[in-house]
Structure 1
Amino acid sequence: MRTYASKYLLAGLLVSSLAGCNKFDELNSNPDTAVNATAPMLATRMILDITEKSISTQKSFIQPFLLSKSMIWTEFAEDFQYNYLGRASFDAMTILTNVEKMKSYTVEGPTRNSFTALGNFVRAWKFYEQTMRVGDIPYSDAVKGEQNVISPKYDTQKEVFAGILNELDQADKLFAAGVKFDGDPIYGGDVTKWRKAVNTFELQVLLSLYKKTGETDLKIVERAKDIVANRPVFTGNADNFQLVYSDKNEQRYPFYKLGNPFTIYPMVSDVLISKLKTLQDRRLFYYANPSPVQVAAGKAVSDYAAYKGTDPAMVYSDISKIYTSKDYSGLNSRYTEMANAEPVFQLSYPMLKFMLAEMTLRGWITGTAADHYNEGVKAALQFVAGNTPDNADYHHNMKITDAYITTYLASDGVKLAGTTEQQIEQILTQKYLHTFLHAPYNAFFENRRTGYPAFPINTASNENTPADKMPVRWLYPQKELDYNNANVTKAITSQYGGSDNFNQQMWLLK
């Protein structure tokens, strides 16, 4: 009897506990919170993953620009500032497990076309980011853990790029057959704007392959011609693939002062400032603040001479001395004082125009390179002026006006001229100036691709080996070495002769 009594007493307590637990769950449920995922919810998460999460905030927001030598960090010596790339991570790829789920939550038809197209675009974006860092990566077997593929094989970089291009082609077709969809914080579900973003991004991918036009099966030039002639691309700054900020929690500009202890550490690099000064480019007065030492000595805030860039390759102890002296230019106050300082773009209309100018010079497309270039420069200047209030603290009485833009474009240093190579350098320089605090890592990849603009190297501070060279790639993730060793080792051997180091030339660069 005691045994049975104990058993039934225990069962009764268990039922009572479960009932209480159920009631507790009911009492503590938020009726305004979704219980089940939906396609729009997953769409929002993926779009923000490749924008908000990639852009990051505070110190992490600045770090990519240390690598591209437009910014300097003074808190302590930063790896990117001194060219140590470290190991890549594939952790960010897990977001792609939501692509199939997002499609499955919609019925067949135009709405599913839109969500499927978005999935193709996000996949292409994420795989492009990873292969640009390391070379060969898992692609055809990637993110298949739910199918019990826990050790994915590596595809060659060529195969990865072929897949990326095909996914972008498919995304354009599906968006064309789609309808407006929910869950989009960038374009409000406008499929025409998404087609423009997809095709503009595909042109960027194609241009990154400019050394591989001999790979006829990729049809690099043919694809570029077709996009320019037959598909929608960006037509103005209103099409930019960007985040727009506001003075609301978690929606403020990434380097805004609220809760940001790092606003005191950035310097603006001489790589950027010297180019702006040489071109008499008024973006200097919007990007930086004057040196307080120079202002105290009598220079006006509207005087180019009041702005002092610092060599980003200088040894850290010397940078610290300059920081202590205060004789340097820091970030313009608008970046820290305005919660909605300016949108941050990943891809922009001026970037597109610079790409088209370069493609024209390389003979990929017909037209006039100078026309694309001039339109790109004009739109780049309008972006800065249009997103900055008429406040002397933010433009230092050197406003970018329509009259100034006309004069700037006609100036000798800005007009597209010289040999083809000199013109390409001009185009890449203008792209560099335009992407200051935008499109993280783009300037580094463009320098790696073309050598423009040149980055200073100091053997006394460079953490790369050899110390007279910039690194060109990240190392493979430690997790791959730990859990997918056979496949990553095979990839390292086939690409780099078994040496996973920062200076090995991936297929893309050969």
Structure 2
Amino acid sequence: MRTVTKKYLTLGLTLLALAGCSKFDEINSNPNAAVNATAPMLATRLILNITDSEIGIQKGFLMPHFLGKSVIYTEFPEDLQYNYLGRASFDGLPILTNVEKMIGYAPAGPLKNSYTALGKFVRAWKFYNLTMQLGDIPYSEALKGETNVVAPKYDSQKQVFAGILNELDEADKLFAQGNKFDGDPIYGGDVNKWRKLVNSFELQVLINLYKKTADADLKVVDRFKEIVSSRPIFQSNTDNFQLVYSDKAGQRYPFYKLGNPNVIYPMVSEVLIGKLKELEDYRLFYYANPSPVQVAAGKAVNDYAAYKGTDPSMIYSEITKIFTAKDYSPLNSRYTELPGGEPVFLLSNAQVKFTLAEAALRGWITGTPAAIYYADGIRAAMQFVAANTPDNPLYHHNMKITPEYIDAYVASDKVKLKGSTEQQLAQIISQNFLHTFIQAPYNAYYENRRTGYPAFPINPASNSNVPADKMPVRWLYPQKELDYNTQNVKQAISSQFGGNDDVNQPMWILK
């Protein structure tokens, strides 16, 4: 993992390829500016598109977590907070046309293998996130406008997932035959790190196909077993797919206070705080600040009772009353006061451990019990928080996460993996939820949609979804598709949802 540097951000945006220049161009050109696109420049832009652009800044950085019910926003009633998903967008796909250009600029041999592998991974990442929103999407004919395919057909979600899995398999093989490459702001071009990411991400894709284990084409369980037994995957927090920030312009933590008018509005949700209190989890003191009202009433800053979560399903007028009275827990000060903040991950070592725990629980893999993977996931999650928080009472409220505390927490009766298979699954997913606080955008929502854990409160008086007693399970198709690719998108809606583009109808992976 690497800090996002100004060099990478600059090169990532410099994509103009000039075939020639006039005398005027020669006189007025900047001798220090890049004039031709290169494979490293295009690699930087692609990588930053699926990391920096996906993470966002300020309120945009928090928005996925409104839907994931860990953060509440008080300035205005937010659509995602009240379960209105609206329409998805395909606007993030055109950047994938740079994949072929990047490969074309790469020299033959191991370097071309590396850039080809990177392109396949980025494609898999982008199409995975889009199909997770919608279901069927254009895949096999997508991005072929230069060959006059201006109205691409829609592939079934099964076909999309099959394509994603194949591209990830190919990416692993190509990275294994590749060399260290330039233009990588995450892993510094280390192909071994990229192999771990590719395979760890494929495990995440496969666990989302847990209802499709009987599908002979996809071979979900066999693929999962093969990856775990014979390929490199994440082993430590140094493998995390994440951005690291620093106190430099353009590189600061996404919710840092400088130029950020949104810092006063977030509340921490009772969905998160309630679970942390129940488990006597010190991460509470790293994630939130105590209610100033409770502290003024005499409670200590390291007293669990001083922390007040707010129900994210509460009607907005009631939330504003709590906000005005100040009897709630805001975000911990480290999220706004530290310009370097903590790294923001898209996929982490702890997440992979929880995925392995679930797979072991389901009987997909044997040898290592689910309880071991689960405990390892908790350890990695807590170590991440402790390692990325300064030893300052302002940020941990004198409740430091130490190795001794982690050992005691994992061994406690409240935390140990036990009970029925369903109860153990709830524990695994709940720990994943606690780990991904203001991390891994939309992960909490997708895990809740997939498993029902942790339970999200539904309030018919505030829910923007119809019917008001349910969470929506998908976004609507983009308006541009309805306008310009009408026949194909209507056929996809008809084949999946009986002709009704309904946010409440389950897509293929949920059936």
Q: 2: distance between equivalents of 1:27 and 1:463? A: 59
1:444 aligned residue: 445
1:10 aligned residue: none
Matched, 1:423 2:419: no
Deviation at 1:171, TM superposition (A): 0.1
Q: 2: distance between equivalents of 1:36 and 1:271? A: 51
1:92 aligned residue: 92
1:373 aligned residue: 374
Matched, 1:336 2:324: no
Runs of 4 or more above 3 Å deviation: 21-28
1:226 aligned residue: 226
- State the secondary structure of the residue aligned to 1:228: helix
Q: 2: distance between equivalents of 1:188 and 1:379? A: 23
1:305 aligned residue: 305
| Paired letter, 1:317 | S
Q: 1: distance between equivalents of 2:388 and 2:466? A: 42
Q: 1: distance between equivalents of 2:337 and 2:32? A: 34
- State the secondary structure of the residue aligned to 1:346: strand
Q: How does 1:267-306 map to 2 (within 5 A)?
A: 267-306=267-306
1:349-388 CA-partner distances (Å, limit 9, x unpaired): 0000000000001000002101000000011000000000
| Paired letter, 1:509 | L
Deviation at 1:216, TM superposition (A): 1.2
1:5 aligned residue: none
2:434 aligned residue: 433
Q: 2: distance between equivalents of 1:376 and 1:281? A: 15
Deviation at 1:182, TM superposition (A): 0.1
1:384 aligned residue: 385
- State the secondary structure of the residue aligned to 1:216: coil
2:363 aligned residue: 363
Give the share of equivalent positions with the same residue, in percent: 72
Deviation at 1:23, TM superposition (A): 5.3
Deviation at 1:22, TM superposition (A): 4.8
Matched, 1:173 2:140: no
Q: 2: distance between equivalents of 1:450 and 1:33? A: 51
1:401-440 CA-partner distances (Å, limit 9, x unpaired): 0111111111111001111110010000000000001100
Deviation at 1:147, TM superposition (A): 1.4
1:184 aligned residue: 184
Matched, 1:347 2:332: no
- State the secondary structure of the residue aligned to 1:345: strand
2:200 aligned residue: 200
2:400 aligned residue: 399
Q: 2: distance between equivalents of 1:489 and 1:406? A: 55
Q: 2: distance between equivalents of 1:146 and 1:338? A: 46
Matched, 1:45 2:42: no
| Paired letter, 1:295 | V
2:491 aligned residue: 490
- State the secondary structure of the residue aligned to 2:290: coil
| Paired letter, 1:403 | E
Q: 1: distance between equivalents of 2:237 and 2:461? A: 42
1:299-327 CA-partner distances (Å, limit 9, x unpaired): 01010100000000000000000000000
- State the secondary structure of the residue aligned to 1:162: helix
- State the secondary structure of the residue aligned to 1:75: coil
- State the secondary structure of the residue aligned to 1:173: helix
- State the secondary structure of the residue aligned to 1:72: strand
Deviation at 1:145, TM superposition (A): 1.1
1:260 aligned residue: 260
| Paired letter, 2:441 | P
1:459 aligned residue: 460
2:133 aligned residue: 133
1:11-43 CA-partner distances (Å, limit 9, x unpaired): xxxxxxxxxx95553443221111110000000
| Paired letter, 1:123 | R
Matched, 1:241 2:270: no
| Paired letter, 1:253 | Y
Report the TM-score, using the length of structure 2 for normalisation: 0.95
Q: 2: distance between equivalents of 1:148 and 1:339? A: 47
| Paired letter, 1:218 | L
1:150 aligned residue: 150
More helix by share: 1
| Paired letter, 2:390 | P
Matched, 1:65 2:76: no
Q: 2: distance between equivalents of 1:214 and 1:132? A: 20
Matched, 1:480 2:481: yes
- State the secondary structure of the residue aligned to 2:51: helix
- State the secondary structure of the residue aligned to 1:267: strand
Q: 2: distance between equivalents of 1:76 and 1:107? A: 52
1:38-73 CA-partner distances (Å, limit 9, x unpaired): 000000000000000000000000000000000000
Q: 2: distance between equivalents of 1:58 and 1:146? A: 37
- State the secondary structure of the residue aligned to 1:242: strand
| Paired letter, 2:337 | E
Q: 2: distance between equivalents of 1:333 and 1:361? A: 38
Q: 2: distance between equivalents of 1:65 and 1:413? A: 26
1:71-125 CA-partner distances (Å, limit 9, x unpaired): 0000010000000000000000111000000000012210000000000000000
Q: 5+ residue gaps in structure 1?
A: 1-20
| Paired letter, 2:425 | I
2:413 aligned residue: 412
1:266-289 CA-partner distances (Å, limit 9, x unpaired): 000000000000000000000000
Deviation at 1:493, TM superposition (A): 0.3
Label 1:28 to 1:266 Cα distance change in 2 as closer, same or farther (>3 A). farther
- State the secondary structure of the residue aligned to 1:41: helix
| Paired letter, 1:307 | Y
Residue correspondences, number: 490
Deviation at 1:501, TM superposition (A): 1.1
1:183-205 CA-partner distances (Å, limit 9, x unpaired): 00000000000000000000000
Q: 1: distance between equivalents of 2:504 and 2:83? A: 11
Q: 2: distance between equivalents of 1:220 and 1:108? A: 34
Matched, 1:469 2:470: yes
- State the secondary structure of the residue aligned to 1:174: helix
Q: 2: distance between equivalents of 1:48 and 1:106? A: 19
- State the secondary structure of the residue aligned to 1:305: helix
Matched, 1:251 2:268: no
Q: How does 1:84-123 map to 2 (within 5 A)?
A: 84-123=84-123
